[in-house]
Each structure stands twice: as structure tokens, then as C-alpha cells.
Amino acid sequence: MTVTTTGPLPDAPYDVAVIGAGVVGSAIARELARHRGLRVALVEANGDVGEGTSKANTAILHTGFDAVPGSLEARLMREGSALLAGYAAETGIPLERTGALLVAWDADQHAVLPELAAKARRNGVDDTRILEPAELYAREPRLGPGALSALAVPGESIICPWTTTLAYATQAVLAGVDLHLGCRVRRIRDRAGRHEVTSGRGVLHARYLVNAAGLDADAVDALIGRHDFTVSPRRGQLLVYDTFARALVRHILLPVPTALGKGVLVAPTVHGNVLLGPTAEDLHDKRATESTAEGLAALREKGRRILPDLLDEEVTAVYAGLRAATEHDDYQIRADAERRTVTVGGIRSTGLTASLGIASHVAGLLADAGLDLPAPDDLPPLRMPSLGRDTPRPCEQPALVAADPAYGTLVCYCERVSRGEVRDALAAPVPPASLAGLRRRTRVLSGRCQGFACGAQVRDLFERSRAVGPVTGAPPWGAAGSG
């Protein structure tokens, strides 16, 4: 089990190096880890997994009902969605099948709903239904006035995006993948049938490369000598409402999509918050993840129509993510057998949903490109700490607290996070590199006080763990709150 953050990289060559540990690269590394005997490296520029677009999305596990029928995206979403729902149940990733209501606010939108239902059927989603206003308002009593109808899509779900990436990376590492963090790839040379990959932490060698670099997939492709697409970041800003707002909404409330995208939605989260967003802003700067006053004002304006009472609730956070849009409409996933590479680009607004579908597709492409894949084996079992609002937190489980009082000692009162959970996260196979990483793993600092009450104590625990190294004597990682 190897996770490295500093120092030189191993001399021994890898069979495959996956560049980028977002939800997509981590899923690919996990898929390859099933083929025991294959030496796999997961190479990430940041100090943690899931620090790119994968940490800042709308957290919906889509059915793919509105994808372009016949596209690669439609197929991989359909396959990925089913695989991820099963994986979430197996590993404890928080997931709620809330269903979505695609609301028609005017006659044009109302007229489009039957077409959308037909498109859903072509995408294999047969259980949509058009709701008249009486049923719509019975299901969503706080919906703004004036809705004409809605298309109900029962299979749309909400999921924890942070636990998903972390679960993939953790299972990959437990199965023998080397995760190299803080390792930005800067140059790639072909040396006698092997890629010489130069990073900020030195050189590694690999027979095959997978480019899963998200927003930088075009830049990494250029290092390989390919140019098939250009990534243009499309920013999505979001508002996060406090848990008091959660009672206002039962489903994911979607607008009727336009040519510009899926539009602004209101969605509950598995952590008990409510999201309003995202915007869709085409930019040039791939690092422009700041929120803007105009963007947030535009969201509030749209939100007022969808769920007017939401606007009276407290906002606990705002964030923005960048979709990796390209000049093409579909995913850009290509194998180059001669170069021994697979590029995974253009995974715009559905990569969380499709991640496991993409991973299995990429493994097939690597085999087609000549990589010998040993027969797949079972992966080490994994149970993630549950951060979902519908499972009891460790502090609410008397047997757990009796066995280990650290689970009864609260650090964060807003989110009811115990010292035991923080300890476990800090000692985990893929530990956090920052307070933000600890927040994504435990929910500390995520509540309505945003760390005002617990910030100093959390920082102290974090700094101390970095000074003394992983805590020893902790219970097996994953035991807490595994529900």
C-alpha cells in the first residue's frame, strides 16, 4: 500500500500510469487494480485526490435520461449510473434516490415534456411520467406558483461526490496501486517502448499512459503529441443553503434543458443541505473557480421562481466548479495503440455519474491497444465512513461510543463530528493533505458556523497528526459509522 507525497518516484517501471486523480482517473486506477499483477501508478498534481472539478459539482447521480441517444456519454452514463448505485450500497457512499421533477413554467416548456419522455425511453429510462399541477404541487408543496406540469424522473439520485472519489482511490491503493501526489506531469518522452514521464517530483516510467487530467487533458495530450480537442472551462457557481432549508424540498427540481445546458436547479444534498445552481459561464481561465456577485445574484433570481422560501434561508457556503467543455458534443475518449495511450477528455457535466462506466471502457481500450490484462480478481472490501444524513453519525451509536469513547467526544457540533472520526480520517490509507481535505472526509468545518466554533481544535488535531505521523492504535479505518 503506497501513497507518496514527497521524494523521488520509484525506478521500477509501471505497466500503466494514470495521470489525474479526479473521480475519473481514480475510477480507472481502481478498475485496473482488479487485474492483479499489473503495476499501476495514479499520478496527481495536487496534494490530495479529487481536488479538481470532482470536488465542486452538483452531486447528482444522473440516469442519463436527457443525454443524446446513441452517444458515448449516454452509454457510459447509463452503465456508470447503475454501477455506481451498486458500489455506493456496497461501500457506504451516501446516496438518496430522491427522483427529479423537470418543471415546465410556460407553454413552450410544457409542450416539450412528451419529447423529453420519448428521449428518456431511447436512453433506456422507461419510468418517467408527466405530472399535472395538482400532483406536482402535492409532491412539492413549496414549489413557486405558476408551474404548468413536470416530468417525473424517479431514478435521479443524489450522492456524496467526495466519498465517491475517495472510495475509488482508497480501494485502488489497498489493491496495490501506487498513488503519487504533488506530482504534476510536465514532460512525456517515448524511450524504447516506455514512456518517460517527468514530473515535479522526478521521473517515472510506464508502458501505457492514461490521460485523465480533466481541464488539462488537452495540455497532457500535447505532451504525448496529440491534439484532438481544446478544453474550454465552463464555470458553474452554486449556493449551499443551511440544513434548515432541507425540509423545503423533496426532489431534485430541474428546469427544462436548453441548448446552453441543463440550467439552474434546486437539489437537496445527502448531507442535508440544499443546493441552488449552477451557472454556465464560458471562460478562458482554467483556474477561475471564484464566485462572483453577479453569478450569485443571477442564481438567487432563478431560485426565487423555483422555490421562493429558499431565499429566506441562510447560505452556509458558495463554491464554483469548471466543466471541461470542448468543441465536441460528446466525450473524447480515444486509444492510440501506436503511442500506447488512452485519452479521457471532454467529461463535462456527467463525469461523476459515468465514472465507473468510463473506467471499464478505458480498461477495454487499453486491452485493445495491446496491454495484457490479467484475469480480474475481487478488490479488497471497503466500507467508507458515512457522512449521509439518513444514517446515524457515530456519536448517535451507543455501542460504538461505549467501545471507543472518542466517537462520543464531539469536535464539530454543527455537523456532529466526533474526535474519533477525525482521528480515523487522519490515519486513513489516503489521508487529507489540508483542512479542506479533512472537511470533505468528515464534514468538520462544513456546518452553519463554517468552523467558527471548532476551527482551532480541528486545526490543532490536523497539525499534530502531521507532526507525529499517522495515529497508531486507531480502530481499523472505515469502522466508524459504517452503518
Ligand X SMILES: Cc1cc2nc3c(=O)[nH]c(=O)nc-3n(C[C@H](O)[C@H](O)[C@H](O)COP(=O)(O)OP(=O)(O)OC[C@H]3O[C@@H](n4cnc5c(N)ncnc54)[C@H](O)[C@@H]3O)c2cc1C
- Residues marked active site are found at 62
Task: Establish if 53 lies at the interface with ligand X (CB under 6 A).
Answer: yes
Task: Establish if 48 lies at the interface with ligand X (CB under 6 A).
Answer: no
Q: Which is nearer to ligand X, 143 or 299 (CB)?
A: 299
Task: Establish if 62 lies at the interface with ligand X (CB under 6 A).
Answer: yes
Tracing cell 473521480 back to the chain, one arrives at 23
Task: Establish if 321 lies at the interface with ligand X (CB under 6 A).
Answer: yes
Pick one of 18, 35, 58, 335: the residue that binds ligand X (CB under 6 A). Answer: 58
Pick one of 39, 139, 184, 226: the residue that binds ligand X (CB under 6 A). Answer: 184
Q: Which is nearer to ligand X, 67 or 347 (CB)?
A: 347
Pick one of 25, 357, 420, 437: the residue that binds ligand X (CB under 6 A). Answer: 25
Q: Which is nearer to ligand X, 206 or 347 (CB)?
A: 347
Task: Establish if 23 lies at the interface with ligand X (CB under 6 A).
Answer: yes
Reference 272, options 481, 83, 98, 89; nearest CA is: 98
Q: Which is nearer to ligand X, 19 or 444 (CB)?
A: 19
Task: Establish if 341 lies at the interface with ligand X (CB under 6 A).
Answer: no
Residues binding ligand X: what is the number (CB under 6 A)?
39
Strand partners, 240: 275, 317
Give me the phi and psi of 262, to 5 degrees please.
Answer: -75, -20
Task: Establish if 45 lies at the interface with ligand X (CB under 6 A).
Answer: yes
Determine the Cα–Cα distance for residues 385 and 271; give it in Å rounded to an integer: 13
Determine the Cα–Cα distance for residues 186 and 18; give it in Å rounded to an integer: 14
Q: In this structure, what C-alpha cell is assigned to residue 17?
A: 500510469
Q: How far is the CB of 370 from ligand X (least distance, A)?
A: 24
Q: Which is nearer to ligand X, 353 or 418 (CB)?
A: 353
Task: Establish if 349 lies at the interface with ligand X (CB under 6 A).
Answer: yes
Task: Establish if 59 lies at the interface with ligand X (CB under 6 A).
Answer: yes
Pick one of 73, 216, 221, 424: the residue that binds ligand X (CB under 6 A). Answer: 216
Q: How far is the CB of 159 from ligand X (least distance, A)?
A: 8
Q: How far is the CB of 60 from ligand X (least distance, A)?
A: 3
Task: Establish if 215 lies at the interface with ligand X (CB under 6 A).
Answer: yes
Amino acid at 478: G
Task: Establish if 387 lies at the interface with ligand X (CB under 6 A).
Answer: no
Q: Which is nearer to ligand X, 92 or 236 (CB)?
A: 236
Task: Establish if 353 lies at the interface with ligand X (CB under 6 A).
Answer: yes
Task: Establish if 255 lies at the interface with ligand X (CB under 6 A).
Answer: no
Tracing cell 463554517 back to the chain, one arrives at 450
Please list every residue from 426 through 455 that binds ligand X, using CB under 6 A.
none
Q: How far is the CB of 62 from ligand X (least distance, A)?
A: 6
Q: Which is nearer to ligand X, 237 or 418 (CB)?
A: 237
Stretch binding ligand X (CB under 6 A), from 91-99, 347-355, 377-385, 434-442: 347-355
Determine the Cα–Cα distance for residues 329 and 325; give it in Å rounded to an integer: 8
Pick one of 16, 17, 40, 60: the residue that binds ligand X (CB under 6 A). Answer: 60
Tracing cell 439552474 back to the chain, one arrives at 264
Q: Which is nearer to ligand X, 27 or 414 (CB)?
A: 27
Stretch binding ligand X (CB under 6 A), from 47-55, 99-107, 144-152, 398-406: 47-55
Determine the Cα–Cα distance for residues 323 and 343; give it in Å rounded to an integer: 17
Count of CB atoms situated within 10 Å of the CB of 399: 8
Residue 188: alpha-carbon gap to chain centroid:
28
Task: Establish if 51 lies at the interface with ligand X (CB under 6 A).
Answer: yes
Half-sphere exposure of 419 (CA within 13 A, CB side): 12
Q: In this structure, what C-alpha cell is assigned to residue 258?
A: 436548453
Pick one of 52, 99, 432, 451: the residue that binds ligand X (CB under 6 A). Answer: 52
Pick one of 94, 255, 268, 351: the residue that binds ligand X (CB under 6 A). Answer: 351
Q: Which is nearer to ligand X, 168 or 477 (CB)?
A: 168
Stretch binding ligand X (CB under 6 A), from 1-9, 39-47, 91-99, 290-298: 39-47
Task: Establish if 270 lies at the interface with ligand X (CB under 6 A).
Answer: no
Kindly list the residues in this chain that would bind ligand X in the complex (CB under 6 A).
Answer: 19-25, 43-46, 51-54, 57-60, 62, 184-185, 212-216, 220, 236, 278, 321-323, 347, 349-353
